Amino acid sequence: MSEVGPRDGLQSISPILPLEAKKAWIAAEAAAGVREIEVGSFVPAKVLPQLADTAEVVAFARTIPGLTVAVLVPNARGAAAAIEAGAHKLTLPLSVSETHSLRNLRRTHDQVLAEAREIAAMVAAVPQDSRPHFEGSLSTAFGCTLEGAIPDAQIARLAEGLMAAGCDEVGISDTTGYADPASVKRLIKLVRGVVGEEAVTGIHLHNTRGLGLANALAALDSGLTTIDSSLAGLGGCPFAPGASGNIVTEDLVFMLEAMGLRTGIDLEKLNAVRDILAKELPGEPLYGFTPDAGLPLGFRPAHEQKLEVA
């Protein structure tokens, strides 16, 4: 799984979390066993002042052993800054809805693909032993609050375009919370049919209509290995009206561990990370059934269960 709260969560709320609090959050999650965290986005400070300190956050996160430090980049300029900062993974969002793309990145599909080619060239120029992983993400893939349903042919064309531009993989994103388990399986099959199975490993899901965990399970059943989630369910998309509610990290980890799937994450330590947000973001809603209910009596994490699933 990949924790996206420090980026997707914080960009969607008004308060600005202090740098030291961001560091404490990331360090505490890593200590709980989370191995990949999207720590910010390289966008202009005037657009998202909440993420203006992303370079400093990346520098700190890189000091944590074993942590993959991921960032979102909206364009080649942001990617250059991310590479300079030393991010391990770059994600470029390409909205399959051109209306949303213009609203979110102020770029057409062709312009975003041109940015992808430029970013791929920059990544290729980095020495191989320190070269970041480059993901192109298909945003609004399950539908757009501005355009509605997006034709399969358009999604397939853009997925193919991202790989042709030089991306290492293509991610799928339910930016607006329109997905259901059947559509998750169908879209994964569609995109993999174009770019290959090995090029589609991750998905970004929202819980807008209460289907987040069901959709995550459908993605796992389809063979994906990375599910994005956000601590306390923070997040949404400020440029997609009505989009809200990332999957709650704590609930996702509980589901996986209860099923016998090893995450390497200590749930009690993970739940305690919420205290940082509660203190630094007073009045901001924190979601999650597992933290509220607590762990069931006799609950055993996956590594303690007799029947374990790899």
Count of all residues that appear for the chain in the document: 310
pTM here is 0.94
171's enclosing H/E stretch is strand 169-173
Beta bridge partners of 89: 70, 133
CA distance 146 to 67: 36
205-243 in b/e form (b: 16+ CB < 10 A) is bbbbeebbbbbbbbbbebebeebbbbbbbbbbbebbeeb
Q: Where are the alpha helices (DSSP H) in 62-108?
A: 76-85, 98-104
Closest CA to 247 of 283, 218, 215: 215
Which structural domains are found in the chain, ordered by start? 2-304 (3.20.20.70)
Q: Which of 237, 240, 256, 265 is catalytic?
A: 237
At 185, the amino acid letter reads: K
Q: How far is CA 52 from CA 19, 27, 48, in A?
A: 10, 19, 7
CB distance 250 to 271 below 8 Å = yes
Per-residue pLDDT for the chain (310 aa), expressed as one digit of tens each? Answer: 999 999 999 998 999 999 999 999 999 999 999 999 999 999 999 999 999 999 999 999 999 999 999 999 999 999 999 999 999 999 999 999 998 888 877 889 999 999 999 999 999 999 999 999 999 999 999 999 889 999 999 999 999 999 999 999 999 999 888 999 999 999 999 999 999 999 999 999 999 889 999 999 999 999 999 999 999 999 754 444 444 679 999 999 999 999 999 999 999 999 999 999 999 999 898 999 999 999 999 999 998 986 544 3
R_g (Cα) of the chain, nearest Å: 18
Q: Is 237 a catalytic residue?
A: yes
Give the separation between CA 11 and CA 227, rounded to whole angstroms.
19
Contact 70, 87 (CB under 8 A): yes
